[in-house]
Structure 1
Amino acid sequence: MAVLVVGHAERAALRAAQRPADPLTAEQATAQAVGAVVDIAAAADLQRPTGAYAMRSCTSAVDPPYRAVVNMTFAVPQGNPPRYLAGVAEAMTGLGWTRAATPAPHFGHKLVRDGLTATFFRNTERTDLATMTVDGECRVVEAEQRREWVDVTARLRAAR
């Protein structure tokens, strides 16, 4: 009997994760993640930012729920890249971001705000660039999602 209860509880938890209590539309999720990246580009005065967003599954390649993901690169000046990236993180804290409990890869930075997670570090292939990813909340349950990347470079550069 206990196995059935556990099995039922696991299925209920899975359904709950796939159907958030307070879902977002794809437009709301995109506005949340892209808006955050535009704010970061302006507050940190990022040089030569480029970026794009797409909707991605939180559970598999195609199943709901989905989240908005924004990928951005920006220039890292010569001199002291770790200090520069620490300055970007400091500018983000001025926008309400806080350090995440888990570390970022590649000796980078990981911050969270309002259900978003921003991870950034010096690009491992081009050391004159940094790479930032902002992952939105897993709260989009609409059946069909845009899978292709949508460029937002013009918005990032206009924010500066």
Structure 2
Amino acid sequence: MFPHRHDSGHSANPLSDEQAEAQVVDAAKQISQLVSLPDVYGGFAFQSCNDQGVPPYRGAVEMSFRLPLDDRKGYPAEVDPDAFFDQIAATMVAHGWADGPPPGLHPNGRVINSNGVMAIMSWGPSPGWSRIQLYGECRNLTDHRGDGKTSWKKITDQLHKG
């Protein structure tokens, strides 16, 4: 499954740059704040939904966070990432997200989705850390080739706001 192929046929109701960004950034903020992700940082970029790099585009967020520590063993140890992903999914499902990917998609990792946003949880980017990648709908028709908006910009401060 290539996540960039998500929802590529829905350009009939296009999203502005601001709407496409808000779609995934708001979802990332919701996850970060409801779960209280430790040491979270993240970035946003527009991604083309095809192999040619042309419209349509979608918003994408990548958040990385430190795994919490588990004191139950009598010493600080990292929580099992898969168990923590299950806790994140359960929290988000309790707040209206759906468990699993949107219909017809089969990405690798633990997946939840809501309102056109798919969140994929996976291990990495380094030991003790995990990530959540969020992909919005392919409904932004602005041609972002050469405008710098396909480069990642930091959104860490937004992930910490309550």
> What TM-score do you get using the length of structure 1 for normalisation?
0.79
Aligned-partner Cα distance in 2 for 1:65–1:103:
21
Name 1:82's counterpart in structure 2. 82
Matched with 2:116 is: 115
Q: Which runs of 5+ in 2 are unaligned?
A: 1-7, 69-77
Q: Distance in 1 between matches of 2:100 and 2:50?
A: 22
Superposed displacement of residue 104, structure 1: 4.6
Percent sequence identity over matched residues? 28
2:61 equivalent to 1:70 = yes
Q: Deviations over 1:76-101 (max 9, x none)?
A: 12143332221111111122211225
Q: Does 1:155 align with 2:158?
A: yes
Runs of 4+ in 1 over 4 A off after TM superposition: 101-104
For structure 1, the 5+ residue unaligned runs are 1-16
- The structure with the greater share of residues assigned to helix is 1
Distance 1:148 1:80, change over 3 A: closer
How many equivalent residue pairs? 140
**1:23·1:140 contact (CA, 8 Å) conserved in 2?**
yes
Kindly provide the amino acid, as one letter, of the partner of residue 32 in structure 2.
A
TM-score normalised by the chain length of structure 2? 0.78
Residue 5 (structure 1) aligns with: none
Bigger Rg over Cα: 1
Aligned partner of residue 88 in structure 1, secondary structure: helix
d(CA) in 2 for partners of 1:100, 1:133: 14
Residue 13 (structure 1) aligns with: none
Partner secondary structure for residue 19 of structure 2: helix
CA distance in 1, matches of 2:10, 2:98: 27
Q: Tell me how large the CA RMSD over aligned residues is.
A: 1.9
Matched, 1:30 2:18: no
Distance 1:24 1:58 in 2: 14
